[in-house]
Amino acid sequence: MSTTELDLHSGPYRTTFTGIEKVRESTPAEWEGYGEVLRRVDEAKQWAIGDWLVDGKTHYGDKLYEKAAAVLGLDEQTLRQFRMLADNMPLLRRRNNLTWGHHREVASLKTIREREDGQLELSGETDYEKIEEFLTWAEKEKASVRDLREKIRKHKDDQRRYIDLANAPEKYAVIYADPPWQYTSGDQHTDESQDTVIGDHYPSMQLR
């Protein structure tokens, strides 16, 4: 077989560059199983392209994406995304039971660091501890990419609030106030009785 040919056999199916040839009748289980193979092939393709680009950087440097685009016919933004994820997620950290999309969501997690002036900020370092935590949760709960994205969004919001409070401890996130508003008709004290009930202690305020 030449290097330009693709011929993959799986049960009743033979896969070529131009489609699938059915070599015999399939069973429902075989049909479902091959669908899973196709899904995994698509997942593997994205990882494989990313790993290929990581290696290609050593050969082509800044010309990498131009070369890769000519070979694959993909745009530079997509290629950069594939490479970034493969670079940030080493092979041993990837979960077979989760999709490429799950890994893409967690790849943006960063650690918090302290600057020389004592202020906190998000660092440029990948937070692998949190990545493991979120991937484990997604795997255990069989969470969708959307569910994982929402959980990560909340975590990032919590990080920002923590940094803001740590950098400005004299500020408060919540202010509770109980102004001495005048009661309106129907309340425990009417306007007529306020002068004697409240006014003896402190002046009340109008709403307008």
pLDDT tens-digit readout, 91-108: 999 998 899 999 999 999
98 token code pair: 């989760």
| pTM of structure | 0.69
Examine the domain organization and report whether 197 and 132 are in the same domain. Answer: no
CA-CA distance, 194 to 135, in Å (whole number)?
61
For residue 204, CA distances in Å to 8, 190, 208 come to 84, 13, 12
Confidence of residue 173 (pLDDT cuts 50, 70, 90): low
Looking up tokens 């129907």 gives 186
Q: Residue 189 pLDDT more than 60?
A: no
The answer on 149 and 98 residing in a single domain is yes
More confident call, 1 vs 14: 14
- Same domain, yes or no: 200 and 141: no
Worst-scoring range by mean pLDDT, 10-14, 21-25, 109-113, 171-175? 171-175
Q: Which domain holds residue 183?
A: 177-208
Q: Is residue 3 very low, low, confident or very high in pLDDT (cuts 50, 70, 90)?
A: very low
Judge if 104 and 41 occupy the same domain: no
pLDDT at 191 over 60: no
Residues 181-188, mean pLDDT to the nearest whole number: 60
What does the block give as tokens for 112? 């918090």
Low-confidence winner among 20-24, 73-77, 113-117, 132-136 (lowest mean pLDDT): 20-24
Give the residue from 51, 67, 88 where a domain finishes. 88
Same domain, 40 and 117: no
pLDDT: which is higher, 148 or 198: 148
- Characterize the bridge pairing of strands 110-114 and 19-22: unpaired
